[in-house]
């Protein structure tokens, strides 16, 4: 069943893209909340630390509210199930 294979790859691709987005979000959150960002912000205008703090809070809130961990897990399971379905149907001859 070509449809099962396509769906398996589709969900696998979605899981990969969602995992990469989560990695970028976590990296940005760690950097913005680190001492390096605070040092850079201290040497700039007084409103920059407030802006960085606000951005960090918004990014963290988005990550939690979007449920990216749960979404990656669900998409990975869907990909695996569709690929298993496709593998199980490889031995079935097509009727013509």
Q: Domain limits of the chain? A: 2-88
Backbone angles phi, psi at 43, to 5 degrees: -90, 0
Helix-helix angle 2-32:47-66, to 10 degrees = 150
pTM value is 0.65
What is the rounded distance in angstroms from the CA atom of residue 60 to the CA atom of residue 29? 7
In 3-state terms the chain splits into helix, strand, coil percentages (rounded to 5) of 85, 0, 15
29-88 pLDDT tens trace = 887 777 767 777 677 777 777 787 788 888 888 877 778 788 888 888 888 888 888 877
CA pair distance 61, 56, nearest whole angstrom? 9
């Amino acid at each position: 069943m070509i449809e099962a294979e396509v769906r398996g790859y589709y969900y696998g691709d979605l899981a990969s893209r969602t995992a990469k987005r989560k990695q970028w979000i976590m990296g940005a959150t760690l950097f913005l909340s680190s001492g390096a960002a605070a040092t850079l912000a201290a040497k700039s205008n007084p409103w920059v630390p407030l802006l960085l703090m606000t951005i960090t809070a918004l990014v963290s809130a988005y990550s939690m509210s979007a449920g990216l961990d749960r979404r990656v897990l669900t998409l990975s399971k869907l990909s695996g199930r569709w690929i298993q379905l496709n593998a199980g149907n490889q031995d079935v001859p097509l009727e013509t």
